[in-house]
Structure 1
Amino acid sequence: MMNAITEFTKTAPVSHLVPTSLARLHVVETGQGPETLVLWPSIFTDHHIYDDLVARLSTSYRFLLIDGPAHGQSEGGTDAFTMEDCAKAMSEVMDHFNLDRAIVGGTSWGGITAAHLALMSPARVKALVLMNTPMQIDAKRPGLKARFIAGGARWALKTASFRNGVAESFFSATVLAANTAYARAFHDMLKAANPAPLATAVRSVILRGAPLLDRMSELTVPTLVIAGKEDRMYPIAVQAKAALLAPQGRFEAVGGKHISAVERPDRVADIIKKFIGLEAAQ
């Protein structure tokens, strides 16, 4: 990963703090190319999960990488929000950069956000990239683990055991061991976060969501679903089913757990580049 990060820093990313209806969100603008990819990360992570992906694609595509509320360098609040609110904020970021349409996507929370933007404003979305995205998250029936994470986030974030538990769910042990710089950055971000706003964001994602699976058939844009083969939180069979429900859906399984952009950046970069190429050819 360190070689990829070194390449990434050469692209001279520019940081912006963009006003939105949720909060002022930190956005990293980097790369170059005729197409712009707007990506939003998972809860408990920031834009750095895309470092390796950007390192491989920044000479072909422009990126806008959005830190979610209370994550990374984004501001946050204590008012709960919905996934529609997140989609609106993503649209407002696009407005800030005078971007009428783009390829939008994200990881987990970011995938839900991008999918809602595609449902709310399909004219703004050229194509949709859903990485490791929960398809059956249901605030009406949250599981025990979801309730534990949502309830304990504010108080437990400062404890190494809680952060290690999140890391073990998100990343393969071999990936964390090989990428010590990323593992350290993951812990540092959570330790530095403001506990109350970050907990609000986590609770909003986990406890105010609705199943995306039921709405995949409503998507009118080309949709790519990427899933980790060892992701125990979101079974691969459900991910494949969701992709088939989308009228223009494509499904790709990759090795690793929940954050495929970190786990298998080469494979994910190749999949996205092929997907964009196929859409451009049609």
Structure 2
Amino acid sequence: MSNSYHDTKAGRLSVETHGSGPPIFFWPSLFLDRSIFTSQIAHFSRSYHVVAVDGPGHGESGKSVSNLTIEDCADAVEEILTNLGIRRASFIGASWGGLVGIAVATKYPELVDRLAIIGSPLAAPDRWERLQGGILLILYSLFGGRERMMRTLLSQGIGSEFRRARSNDFDALVRRLARVPHRRRLPAMRAVMLERQDMLSCLAQLQIPVMLIRGKDDAFLSVEQFARQAAALPAAAVRVIPGSGHLPSLEKGEETTAVLVDLLRGSQDS
């Protein structure tokens, strides 16, 4: 394993690399860091070159640019891959990461071999979502540095099965996230919750294997929204992970790894 920092259009990003072989790039969900992919990194690093990033303002990465956009994040991926000498990679994105993956695949199609989109809200936010997001931004800017606030946010996203069966892991995650200066996350929150563009229309442009993944109990991506995503790209593989909320890569690591193996099968020959 090696760690490095990369100055990008989105900010100074922390990148962890493992293994050798066909490259896979991981981008995590809003509020969280690359540790949500621990199970997948451990599995794939045995036969792939794994690259996992902390998003701008998250984890070990530095402050993001103040007016961050999803396109800035896509540019950051291109810069990191160039710095690492990687010409083409599979992309695994959870929630925020799925939006970034689509942006990379449409702006830099030569860079992406296949794409997994995990629990990502791809439609532009409607008026009600913008109102809710605006209220959350205000509350988060005031109270986001407190463990209580992080516990509330994570409890909404992470399924009850994980919180009950792995309560110690959940508590440790809350404490770790609360230690990161919370206002660093605000630009990414605005970009994802308030300012994201409609990504559904971008799906039809993709000429690569795509897998859409949803936790069965995801409170942030409804069954209807997920069905619209599948309809927008009928060729996509569709998987639902039982017993998981918004973060199946964390909550159901083995099951999520198994469906990603299905997506990546054959990539070593492509």
- TM normalised by structure 2 equals 0.91
CA distance in structure 2 between the aligned counterparts of 1:96 and 1:182, rounded to whole angstroms? 34
Give yes or no for contact 2:145–2:181 (8 Å, CA) kept in 1.
no
The one-letter amino acid of 2:123's match is: Q
Once the two structures are aligned, what percentage of the paired residues are identical?
22
Partner SS for 1:218: coil
What does 1:101-250 align with in structure 2 at a 5 Å threshold?
A: 101-138=88-125, 142-246=129-233, 248-250=235-237
- Cα RMSD of the aligned pairs, angstroms, is 2.0
CA distance in structure 1 between the aligned counterparts of 2:10 and 2:269, rounded to whole angstroms? 37
CA distance in structure 2 between the aligned counterparts of 1:80 and 1:139, rounded to whole angstroms? 21
Stretches of structure 2 that go unaligned for 5 or more consecutive residues are none
CA distance in structure 1 between the aligned counterparts of 2:221 and 2:89, rounded to whole angstroms? 27
Q: Deviations over 1:19-44 (max 9, x none)?
A: 11121100111233x22110110111
Name which of 38, 42, 48 aligns with 1:55: 42
CA shift at 1:222, angstroms?
Answer: 1.2
Q: Which residue number in structure 1 is paired with residue 239 of structure 2? A: 252
Name which of 3, 6, 9 aligns with 1:21: 9
Aligned residue pairs: how many? Answer: 269
CA shift at 1:194, angstroms?
Answer: 2.0
CA shift at 1:281, angstroms?
Answer: 6.4
The one-letter amino acid of 1:146's match is: G
Give yes or no for contact 2:10–2:65 (8 Å, CA) kept in 1.
no
CA distance in structure 2 between the aligned counterparts of 1:114 and 1:90, rounded to whole angstroms? 9
Q: Deviations over 1:223-248 (max 9, x none)?
A: 11111111121113322331342264
* Cα 1:270–1:50 shift into 2, 3 Å: same
Q: Deviations over 1:193-242 (max 9, x none)?
A: 22332222212221110121222111122111111111121113322331
* Cα 1:278–1:243 shift into 2, 3 Å: farther
Give yes or no for contact 2:209–2:263 (8 Å, CA) kept in 1.
no
Q: Deviations over 1:51-96 (max 9, x none)?
A: 1222233212221111001100000146121111111111111111
1:35 aligned to 2:22? yes
Q: Deviations over 1:89-146 (max 9, x none)?
A: 1111111111111001210001100110001111111011111111224276634432
* Cα 1:134–1:104 shift into 2, 3 Å: same
CA distance in structure 1 between the aligned counterparts of 2:230 and 2:212, rounded to whole angstroms? 6
Q: Which residue number in structure 1 is paired with residue 253 of structure 2? A: 265
Give yes or no for contact 1:244–1:250 (8 Å, CA) kept in 2.
no
CA distance in structure 2 between the aligned counterparts of 1:100 and 1:112, rounded to whole angstroms? 21
